Amino acid sequence: MAGASGKKEKVKVDKAGPSGGGNKKKDVKKETGLGLSVKKDENFGEWYSEVCKHEMIEYYDISGCYILRPWSMAIWEIMQTFFDAEIKKMKVKNCYFPLFVSPGVLEKEKDHIEGFAPEVAWVTKSGKSDLEVPIAIRPTSETVMYPYYSKWIRGHRDLPLKLNQWCNVVRWEFSNPTPFIRSREFLWQEGHTAFATKEEADEEVLQILELYRQIYEEYLAVPVVKGMKSENEKFAGGLYTTSVEAFIPNTGRGVQGATSHCLGQNFSNMFEITYENEEGKREKVWQNSWAYSTRTIGVMIMTHGDDKGLILPPKVASVQVVVIPVPYKDANTQGIFDACTATVSALSEAGIRAEEDLRDNYSPGWKYSNWEMKGVPLRIEIGPRDLENDQVRTVRRDNGVKEDIPRGSLVEHVKELLEKIQQNMYEVARQKREACVQEIRTWDEFISALNQKKLILAPWCDEEEVERDVKARTKGETGAAKTLCSPFEQPELPEGTLCFASGKPAKKWTYWGRSY
């Protein structure tokens, strides 16, 4: 069964169970080997690795690279379908630029590439021959795309230019690869837009950030904070960076969930992206870039998973409902199987993603554990008694609550249940996150909260040197503390409030903590 021990256990179906399970055929597998070997609260890193390996990813023979299996790829596709439709409403068009970057172009924007230099992977050979000029593999595509923006943008009628690409990027240098969260190659979308005015750029930055909030909160059921990154933490070469920040209570670490940057006119300066305005004068464009990646899936797993495995929010689960027959000796097995198939058909016709598990070489108990580990939001069991009473039994993955439902009202009830599961998962995650937030005023309180793995809200003077000093003073084996973001929704800052780290007058409230 899907316990925490990982030992092989005999699967027992309770004879007095609600679905009328009992004796099983001799050829049914009685040992499972299912279950995680560690508990989430005891060894989070090992727990996370085990959960990911259960049909989400497969480890590859190059460190930091992972195979995305269909179970995780389906989640990415559901988010992609939502986001792609939303940006198209904003008149953003999809395109594709090459994976390779010439060094001359890459190094043109000094501040920008310095931020990525350690992570850039280079192609230096073709077959056995050295390339005359090494070619970089994109870590991000500003320098790939913007030479062509300067070619395509000539007059004010060419603006705004709004492009997005769904692609992969490669970032090579890091010491601790983590599936989804930090990998050498990952999938993402990257939007790159150009406007005539800063006001238009500012407006889009927040529109996109709101879509990222929706992905996390409304699809993945993960609470996030929308806010502004510090000057130290902003996108290299940009004017300012906004982000949605998640927090993992088990590790006490923040996660930068997605970013929406205003690049200002820095890149239009470097790449000479100008247009002729209505008065015939040449002006520089204002630019944005924005992205979210497959990191979203890792944040979802970390937030919701438990000692039985994954728990998937219904909105992103490729299978929302699994229907399992629970026959026993002398029962009308074919009738039970037919009822399972009919149930799946009814649910599927109503737009619910449902599957039946009619495999006869596994016991019902083994199937329960298997589908629980895969995180399917709702299980439906049909046994002899259910057949007799024209009902089914539903079992929720998020809280284990069981209900007997008349088959006549099943579709409506399942739709309602899936909505409740989605809402409950978000609310449980929000409450856990809120329980970790600690408001502090002094350095001693900051250190105490940091050691307790808190998400720290502190008054700050907003000086870069002070943040660098905090990083230096908190550096240790588990990483240094830094700003996560300054929330747009600022609590009241009483006059005379001092910065927790410098003692200077505080200018804002900012979230601090360790991060992934």
DSSP codes joined into one string, 129-160: EEEEEEEEEPSSSHHHHHHHHHHH--BGGG--
The ranges assigned to domains in the chain are 53-304, 321-432, 440-514
What's the whole-number average pLDDT of the chain? 92
Most confident of 5-9, 330-334, 369-373: 369-373
The full length of the chain comes to 516
* DSSP helix/strand/coil, 286: strand
Computed from CA positions of residues 128, 130, 131, 137, in that sequence, does the dihedral angle turn out positive or negative? positive
CATH of domain 440-514: 3.30.110.30
Please check whether the two domains, 321-432 and 440-514, share a CATH topology. Answer: no
- Per-residue model confidence as pLDDT tens digits over 364-390: 999 999 999 999 999 999 999 999 999
433: which 2 tokens?
Answer: 């996150």
Report the pLDDT value the prediction gives residue 236, as an integer from 0 to 100.
86
Least confident among 106-115, 329-338, 414-423? 106-115
More confident site: 49 or 113:
49
Q: Per-residue DSSP letters for 160-214?
A: -EEEEEEEEEE----S--BTTTB-SEEEEEEEEEEESSHHHHHHHHHHHHHHHHH
- Per-residue model confidence as pLDDT tens digits over 490-509: 999 999 999 999 999 999 99
Task: Name the amino acid, one letter, at 485.
Answer: C
Report the pLDDT value the prediction gives residue 6, as an integer from 0 to 100.
37
The answer on pLDDT for 115 being more than 70 is no
CATH of domain 53-304: 3.30.930.10
- Per-residue model confidence as pLDDT tens digits over 401-450: 999 999 999 999 999 999 999 999 999 999 999 999 999 999 999 999 99
- Per-residue model confidence as pLDDT tens digits over 28-60: 444 445 689 999 999 999 999 999 999 999 999
Residue 350 and residue 334 in contact, taking contact as beta carbons nearer than 8 Å? no
Report the pLDDT value the prediction gives residue 110, as an integer from 0 to 100.
66
The answer on pLDDT for 10 being more than 50 is no
Number of DSSP helices (H) and strands (E) in the chain, helices first: 14, 23
CATH of domain 321-432: 3.40.50.800
Degrees, nearest 5: CA angle 328-6-355 = 45
413: which 2 tokens?
Answer: 């009830």
